């Protein structure tokens, strides 16, 4: 950071901005477009992490950001390298990940002429970024690069830094702006007063802790508020790390394959405090046959993005504020005040404990799926029941683990078996829902937190999309553990064929190689797990290998049984009008 302008090259200005923002890792694949900046990374203390595919780079930057709370950064060659980022940017957008992705573009003197590796790089990302910085003059390199870092953090989402490739060169006089971080604050005090009033009068308050609790570092405040109100706390969908699972008031996640205890308890709420959650539409869909969202409860919603307030669910009070600061402000207002919920505290404790115990018992007994299709395929299989495997993995999971999960039937069922005490531990593919997310994301998380055990849960189909990054693990000695659920099918989609299309299978059955053998061919460890008793020990051995920078693929052979579908809302039985398609009803 220099206060008065200094002479330097634009590449130096860019790298100085990275250094000023504490960047130590940049993920990518080398390209001629950014050689001049790349060359000086080592002198700035920045490690370039070469990956197998640019989608891996952006996912790794996402995982790095989610695990660390700092920026994740990646860079690619103009044109094809940059377009390979698209899916990962969209995923990071919906994961609220402060990623800065640097996109060198065709040189300013040839843009529009249809030269080599040219495409318009701003429109492609316009709907999946929080900010797009375009360096329109090399003299503005530092200013615009710094703004990307500020905006990614301010808005918790991806920022694009687009740089015509000739603008890396030259001589400029520039200052290097320091990071600008703005604390969002607790929100409007009248709204907080109103919320405190509602909570004080609540008979059965329930807290729904969202990603905002994690991102704001507000776990301690959420715990203190829950204890003050003696309110059970549900995790919002795929944020099982938003409240410590071992806490007596923790009741587990809502949403797809979530906790029945959480659902049954929130259904009884007269007041719901939605703390740091946008109440995304998929997060509260009916599940396990329970339409649990309490339609008559007063909803208080706190979100740092005002556009999320009341967007999906009607709310009584909206607070535009940071989850941590708002929780602290509510505690201040509620401390020492008479709380209606204190009168029935013992009775509520009984209800909370009873629901938690009932769900735990049910999960333990729920060793396999019971629908006709699942019973049929499991009867003809020597492989393991997915639910039993998930329970064994849960039991063997080391303390302080980070787990990423992919999109698929078994990964979704895993939601019931993933419990965390620390924030920044669960990295599910969020609302964008792209298969192939989990593995590169856990690689990035591991780079950010090398001392934490790191696991990815991936279906065999999604594994086919993402296993190329085993190259990166072997080359860079990144030690993670991947559990590949090998059911020889794109199971989540096959479930739709079973439920709606009379088992007319198309493109859902997978002939797999030995995924353990493939891992070994890449120079990683590969283990095929065929017995339930081996699941836990295999996980622990693989976790041990992480400290030597060894990645292990545990290929778990599971039956083809399938849990409840995700999109109950979105499919209906086919109706055909033309004679030629009549057999397809
Ligand atoms: C990139 C991408 N392509 C396709 C899909 C559609 N899709 C959703 S789940 C799924 C099946 C996942 O299969 P697998 O990874 O084997 O897990 P399983 O369901 O068998 O447990 C597919 C293809 C998607 N979500 N993302
Ligand atoms: Mg599968």
pLDDT at 571: 84
How far is the centre of ligand 2, averaged over its atoms, from the C-alpha of 396 (Å)?
A: 22
**d(CA 541, ligand 1 centre) in Å:** 28
pLDDT for 565: 86
Q: Which atom of ligand 1 is nearest to the CA of 410?
A: 21
Residue 506: CB partners within 8 Å, gap ≥ 6? Answer: 497
- Mutate which of 385, 407, 410 for ligand 1? The one with the most ligand atoms within 8 Å of its CB, which is 407
Question: Tokens standing for 385?
Answer: 């029941």
CB 404 within 8 A of CB 457: yes
Residues of the chain with pLDDT under 50: none
pLDDT at 548: 97
CA distance 107 to 26: 22
Nearest Cα residue to 203 out of 335, 331, 348, 316: 348
Q: Report the C-alpha gap between 236 and 208 in whole angstroms.
A: 6
Whole-number Å distance between alpha carbons of 212 and 321 = 10
Give the Å distance between the CA of 416 and the centre of ligand 2: 18
Instruction: Give the Cα separation of 148 and 161 in Å (integer).
Output: 6
pLDDT value at residue 568: 72
Measure the CA–CA gap between 476 and 479, rounded to whole angstroms.
9
pLDDT at 2: 59
| Residue 541 CA to ligand 2 centre (angstroms) | 24
- Strand 99-105 and strand 72-75: pairing? parallel
Rounded CA separation 358/441 (Å): 34
User: Which protein residue's CA is at the shortest distance from atom 4 of ligand 1?
Assistant: 435
| Residues at CB less than 6 angstroms from ligand 1 | 407-410, 433-436, 459-462, 485, 487, 489-493
Distance CA(119)–CA(116), nearest Å, equals 9
Residue 189: CB atoms within 10 A of its CB come to: 11
Strand arrangement of the beta sheet that strand 47-50 belongs to: 47-50, 25-28, 72-75, 99-105, 159-164, 131-134
Q: Which ligand 1 atom sits closest to the C-alpha of 87?
A: 1
Q: At what angle do helices 10-20 and 141-154 cross, to 10 degrees?
A: 30
> What pLDDT is recorded for position 282?
87
Residue 1's pLDDT is what? Answer: 60
Decide the pairing of beta strands 47-50 and 25-28: parallel
Using the atom order of ligand 1, give the atom closest to the CA of residue 436: 1
388 CA distance to ligand 1 middle (Å): 21
Q: Which atom of ligand 1 is the closest one to the Cα of 461?
A: 16
Q: Name the residue at shortest CA distance from atom 11 of ligand 1.
A: 490
Mutate to test the pocket of ligand 1, among 408, 411, 515, 563 (most ligand atoms within 8 A of CB): 408
CA pair distance 381, 132, nearest whole angstrom = 52
218, 323 in Cβ contact below 8 A?
Answer: yes
Going by C-alpha positions, the residue among 449, 568, 352 that lies closest to residue 66 is: 449
Distances (CA, A) of 496 to 224, 316, 437, 486, 499: 43, 38, 22, 19, 5
Nearest ligand 1 atom, CA 490: 13
Rounded Cα–Cα distance for residues 577 and 386 (Å):
39
* Residue position matching structure tokens 């503005």: 140
Q: Could you tell me the distance, in angstroms and rounded to a whole number, from the CA of residue 122 to the centre of ligand 1?
A: 29
Largest CA distance in the chain: 78
Helices (H), 71-126: 80-83, 86-94
| Site of tokens 């009884």 | 268
Instruction: Report which DSSP code applies to 290.
Output: B
Work out which ligand 1 atom sits closest to the CA atom of 386: 21
Q: How far is the CA of 278 from the centre of ligand 2 (A)?
A: 30
């Amino acid at each position: 950071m220099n206060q008065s302008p200094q002479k330097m090259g634009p590449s130096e200005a860019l790298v100085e901005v990275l250094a000023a923002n504490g960047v130590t890792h940049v993920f990518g694949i080398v390209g001629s477009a950014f050689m001049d900046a790349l060359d000086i990374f080592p002198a700035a203390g920045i490690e370039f992490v070469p990956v197998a595919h640019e989608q891996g780079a952006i996912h790794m930057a996402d995982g790095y950001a989610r695990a660390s709370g700092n920026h994740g950064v990646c860079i690619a060659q103009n044109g094809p390298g940059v377009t390979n980022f698209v899916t990962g940017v969209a995923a990071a957008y919906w994961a609220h990940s402060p990623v800065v992705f640097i996109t060198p573009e065709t040189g300013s003197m040839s843009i529009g002429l249809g030269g080599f590796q040219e495409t318009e790089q701003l429109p492609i990302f316009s709907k999946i970024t929080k900010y797009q910085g375009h360096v329109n003059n090399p003299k503005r390199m530092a200013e615009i690069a710094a703004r990307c870092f500020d905006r990614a953090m301010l808005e918790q989402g991806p920022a694009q830094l687009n740089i015509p490739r000739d603008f890396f060169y030259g001589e400029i006089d520039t200052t290097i702006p320091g990071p600008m971080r703005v604390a969002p604050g607790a929100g409007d005090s009248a709204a907080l007063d109103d919320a405190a009033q509602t909570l004080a009068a609540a008979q059965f308050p329930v807290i729904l802790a969202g990603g905002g609790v994690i991102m704001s570092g507000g776990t301690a405040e959420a715990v203190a508020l829950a204890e003050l109100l003696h309110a059970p706390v549900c995790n919002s969908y795929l944020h099982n790390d938003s409240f410590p699972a071992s806490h007596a008031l923790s009741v587990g996640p809502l949403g797809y394959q979530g906790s029945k205890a959480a659902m049954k308890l929130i259904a009884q709420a007269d007041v719901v405090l939605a703390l740091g959650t946008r109440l995304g539409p998929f997060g509260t869909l009916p599940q396990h046959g329970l339409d649990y969202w309490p339609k008559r409860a007063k909803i208080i919603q706190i979100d740092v993005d005002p556009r999320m307030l009341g967007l999906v669910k009607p709310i009584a009070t909206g607070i535009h504020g940071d989850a941590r600061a708002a929780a602290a402000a509510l505690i201040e207002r509620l401390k020492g005040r008479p709380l209606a919920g204190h009168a029935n505290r013992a009775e509520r404790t009984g209800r909370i404990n009873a629901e938690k115990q009932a769900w735990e018992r049910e999960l333990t007994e729920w060793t396999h799926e019971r629908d006709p299709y699942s019973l049929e395929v499991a009867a003809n299989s020597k492989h393991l029941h997915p639910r039993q495997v998930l329970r064994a993995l849960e039991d063997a999971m080391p303390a302080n683990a980070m787990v990423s999960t992919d999109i698929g039937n078994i990964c979704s069922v895993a939601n019931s078996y993933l419990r965390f005490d620390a924030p920044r531990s669960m990295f599910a593919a969020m609302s964008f829902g792209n298969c192939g997310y989990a593995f590169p994301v856990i690689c990035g998380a591991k780079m950010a937190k090398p001392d934490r055990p790191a696991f990815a849960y991936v279906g065999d189909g999604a594994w086919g999309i993402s296993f190329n990054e085993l190259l990166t693990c072997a080359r860079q000695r990144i030690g993670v553990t991947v559990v590949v659920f090998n059911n020889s099918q794109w199971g989540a989609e096959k479930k739709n064929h079973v439920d709606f299309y009379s088992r007319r299978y198309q493109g859902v059955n997978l002939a797999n190689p030995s995924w353990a053998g493939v891992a070994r061919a890449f120079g990683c460890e590969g283990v095929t797990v065929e017995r339930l008793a081996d699941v836990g020990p295999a996980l622990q051995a693989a976790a041990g290998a992480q400290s030597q920078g060894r990645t292990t693929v545990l290929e778990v052979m599971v039956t083809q049984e399938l849990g409840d579908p995700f999109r109950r809302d979105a499919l209906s039985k086919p109706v055909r009008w033309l004679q030629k398609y009549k057999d397809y009803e």
